[in-house]
Amino acid sequence: MKPKKVIETKFSRIKAGSVLIAQPCWKEPDYKRAIILITDYSAHAARGIIINKASNIHVYDLMDEPGLRIDKMLYYGGSESMEIISYIHNIPFIPEADYFGNGIYFGGDPISVEELIKENRIDLDKMKFFAGSTAWSSGELEHEIANNRWWVSDISSRELFYSVPEKLWTQKLMLNGNMFGLFAEEFDPSLS
């Protein structure tokens, strides 16, 4: 019996751990030059975190836990659930973290994370903290991809933790062979 041939579509590549790269000409500031890490994906819904929009707030500005000073920049993850702080990391021993591949973990038991930080057992350079997320209901994300709003790609932990956030969009486009990454400001193709 012959194995079934798997036909890959642009939708079959979407999974937790994939990234969406905003195509040029988004008018909404949230999505302009955004890169979104997909954290949950099913036939019913999708959720992700914008990973390249740093804020001017530090995590410790939002926490009043004694002995816990997280001197890391807080990133804007999206307009949904802004009261929730989540984290992406490269620390395999954090309990209950979801592993996305490429050295990237999402979340984990917050009490364990607090204890590990207090005990100075976590390298905070291997963590990024986010307020908010982005969500799509059934079929919305697929519709946006079909209408050329996003490119689907992947990302490594090295890119995620060592790239300058403001340059990550350009860097990902160039690595994927897309020449839009050459332009400092995107142009509107409808004008040409």
Q: What is the pLDDT of residue 43?
A: 86
Q: What is the pLDDT of residue 2?
A: 40
Summary mean pLDDT of the chain: 84
Q: For residue 6, name the pLDDT band (cuts at 50, 70, 90).
A: very low
Q: For residue 13, name the pLDDT band (cuts at 50, 70, 90).
A: confident
Tokens of 86: 């989540």
Q: What is the pLDDT of residue 4?
A: 34
Q: For residue 80, name the pLDDT band (cuts at 50, 70, 90).
A: very high
How distant, in Å, are the alpha carbons of 9, 27, 69, 77, 125 from that of 173? 20, 19, 35, 20, 25
Q: What is the pLDDT of residue 90?
A: 95
**34-38, 67-71, 83-87: which range is least confident on average?**
67-71
Q: What is the pLDDT of residue 131?
A: 95
How distant, in Å, are the alpha carbons of 19, 113, 175 from that of 120? 31, 10, 35
Assign 3-class secondary structure to 71-122.
Answer: CCEEEECCCEEEEEEEEEECCCCCCCCEEEECCEEECCCHHHHHHHHHCCCC
Check whether 143 has a pLDDT greater than 90: yes
Report the distance separating Cα 177 and Cα 170, nearest Å. Answer: 11
pTM: 0.83
Neighbours of 182 (CB within 10 A): 9
| Residue appearing with tokens 């946006």 | 144
Neighbours of 137 (CB within 10 A): 9
Percent of the chain predicted with pLDDT > 70: 83
Q: For residue 12, name the pLDDT band (cuts at 50, 70, 90).
A: low
Q: What is the pLDDT of residues 43-64, one digit of tens each?
A: 899 999 999 999 988 887 777 6
